[in-house]
């Protein structure tokens, strides 16, 4: 994978992570955190889709590497919601 392809993949993950955080109503951090949340959300979303037998709706392929946009957004929202609940439970504040 080239540097440009990798940067495009990071940008897509950041956008998906940011949208997922917006849907959950909780902000975990800045741009780097959005990238990590986007990648974790893609794994969570694909795992949920595989367990339920659901197809990939919208997948972008960057240099042969597929990235599931819809499942990344859904997984990011789920991951952000879980982290927000855990943070609230342990710290006692929103």
**Number of structural domains in the chain:** 1
What pLDDT is attached to residue 25? Answer: 87
Question: Is pLDDT of 73 > 80?
Answer: yes
What pLDDT is attached to residue 51? Answer: 94
What pLDDT is attached to residue 93? Answer: 67
Residue 12 · residue 62 · CB < 8 Å: yes
Question: Is pLDDT of 92 > 80?
Answer: no
Question: Is pLDDT of 68 > 80?
Answer: yes
- Write the pLDDT tens digit of every residue in 5-28: 999 989 999 999 999 989 988 888
pTM value is 0.87
Full residue range of the structural domain in which residue 45 is found: 3-91
């Amino acid at each position: 994978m080239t540097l440009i392809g990798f940067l495009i993949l990071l940008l897509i993950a950041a956008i998906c992570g940011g949208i997922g955080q917006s849907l959950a109503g909780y902000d975990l951090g800045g741009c780097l955190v959005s990238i990590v949340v986007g990648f974790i959300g893609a794994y969570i979303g694909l795992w949920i889709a595989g367990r339920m037998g659901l197809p990939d709706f919208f997948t972008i392929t960057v240099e042969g590497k597929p990235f599931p946009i819809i499942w990344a957004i859904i997984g990011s929202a789920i991951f952000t919601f879980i982290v927000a609940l855990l943070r609230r439970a342990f710290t006692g504040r929103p």
